[in-house]
């Protein structure tokens, strides 16, 4: 998947699909066609590390004559604007100008899909993380058609990592533990992981034999993403850091570090 000149490509794709030129009205419907559901990556956030990631966008639509094709585009821009004229960024599917994969569930209803591949080592940059709108165009066998500029939204997120180390191990009951760690997230600009600064991260403890973690305190990461605090050792158990995530970075929990209290 590549970024393209939006006026040339989206306008051409629209004309080929039987839709009006870029001046078309938002949420255009011609005929009896109905768009029932649009899903990006099965409704889940798109989390990407340093490797390419391919996801599927699907639309389920209904028309008395049956559905024969669909097309999609992802774009960014203000809500309520024409993406053909006002998108600040956009991407098109791998299957440019080719029919979608449409599977009929009845004589009138089909689910059509195409794929998008995000390429960190090619066009993807860290600034691309955030919310994207998904546009969809659907065509029926009787030339009924529908377009939704922002049928749904999806979040593109940078993979995060979280580490923990509690010391000393073992420790005498009542003594002080130092719990350190680091919160990092991928940089699509440099294809490595960098510290995520100024983020609130919870220190949590799970006593031996339990399955539940309890929050002890919240600590903000340093300018390099580092974490460090102290806690009192009272019983055997696991210490971990827990990050709730942001609009551009997914939540992540460190693997618990077991400490034997003697």
Q: Predicted confidence band at 7 (pLDDT cuts at 50, 70, 90)?
A: very low
How confident is the model over 18-36, as pLDDT tens digits?
443 333 446 889 999 999 9
- 142 C-beta neighbours (distance < 10 Å), count: 14
For 43-66, what is each residue's pLDDT tens digit?
999 999 999 999 999 999 999 999
- pLDDT-above-70 percentage for the chain: 90
* φ and ψ of 82, to 5 deg: -75, 115
Report the pLDDT value the prediction gives residue 229, as an integer from 0 to 100.
Answer: 98
The pLDDT of residue 1 is above 70: no
pLDDT tens, residue by residue, 163-198: 999 999 999 999 999 999 999 999 999 999 999 999
H helix and E strand count, the chain: 2, 19
Say if residue 13's pLDDT is above 80.
Answer: no
For residues 253 and 82, the model is more confident at 253
Model confidence pLDDT, tens digit, residues 103-123: 999 999 999 999 999 999 999
| Domain 6-157, CATH | 2.60.40.10
What's the pTM value of the predicted model, to 2 decimals? 0.88
Cα 200 to its chain centre, rounded Å, is 21
Q: How far apart are CA 251 and CA 256, in angstroms?
A: 16
Domain boundaries, the chain: 6-157, 160-259
Mean pLDDT, residues 154-170 = 98
d(CA 135, CA 143): 19
pLDDT of residue 82: 85
Tokens encoding 118: 């995000």
pLDDT of residue 5: 34
Average pLDDT, the chain: 91
Q: 100 Cβ partners below 8 Å, 6+ apart?
A: 69, 70, 71, 112, 113, 114
Residue with tokens 């073992």: 170
6-157 and 160-259, same CATH topology: yes
pLDDT class for 86, splitting at 50, 70, 90?
confident
Rg (CA), the chain: 24
* pLDDT at residue 26, rounded to an integer: 61
Structure tokens at 13: 């794709």
Closest by alpha carbon to 91, among 114, 68, 61, 69?
114
User: Cα-flanking dihedrals φ and ψ of residue 9, to 5°?
Assistant: -80, -50
Is the pLDDT confidence value at 90 over 60?
Answer: yes
The arrangement of secondary structure in 160-259, i.e. its CATH architecture, is Sandwich (2.60)
């Amino acid at each position: 998947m590549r970024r393209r000149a939006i006026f040339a490509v989206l306008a051409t794709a629209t004309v080929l699909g039987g839709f009006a030129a870029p001046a078309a009205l938002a949420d255009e419907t011609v005929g009896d066609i109905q768009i029932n559901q649009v899903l990006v990556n099965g409704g889940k956030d798109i989390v990407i590390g340093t490797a390419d990631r391919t996801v599927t966008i699907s639309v389920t639509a209904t028309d008395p004559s049956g559905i024969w094709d669909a097309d999609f585009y992802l774009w960014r821009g203000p809500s309520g604007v024409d993406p053909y004229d006002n998108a600040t960024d956009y991407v098109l599917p791998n299957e440019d100008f080719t029919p979608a994969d449409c599977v009929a569930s009845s004589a009138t209803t089909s689910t059509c899909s195409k794929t998008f591949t995000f390429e960190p080592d090619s066009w993807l940059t860290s600034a691309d993380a955030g919310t994207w709108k998904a546009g969809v165009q659907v065509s029926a066998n009787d030339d009924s058609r529908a377009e939704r500029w922002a049928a749904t939204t999806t979040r593109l997120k940078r993979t995060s990592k979280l580490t923990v180390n509690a010391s000393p191990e073992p420790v005498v009951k009542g003594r002080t533990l130092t719990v350190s760690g680091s919160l990092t997230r991928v940089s699509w600009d440099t294809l490595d992981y960098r510290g995520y600064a100024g983020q609130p991260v919870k220190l949590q403890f799970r006593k031996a034999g339990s399955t539940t973690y309890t929050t002890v305190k919240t600590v903000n990461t340093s300018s390099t993403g580092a974490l460090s605090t102290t806690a009192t050792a009272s019983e055997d158990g696991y210490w971990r850091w827990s990050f709730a995530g942001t609009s551009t970075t997914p939540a992540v929990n460190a693997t618990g570090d077991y400490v034997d209290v003697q």
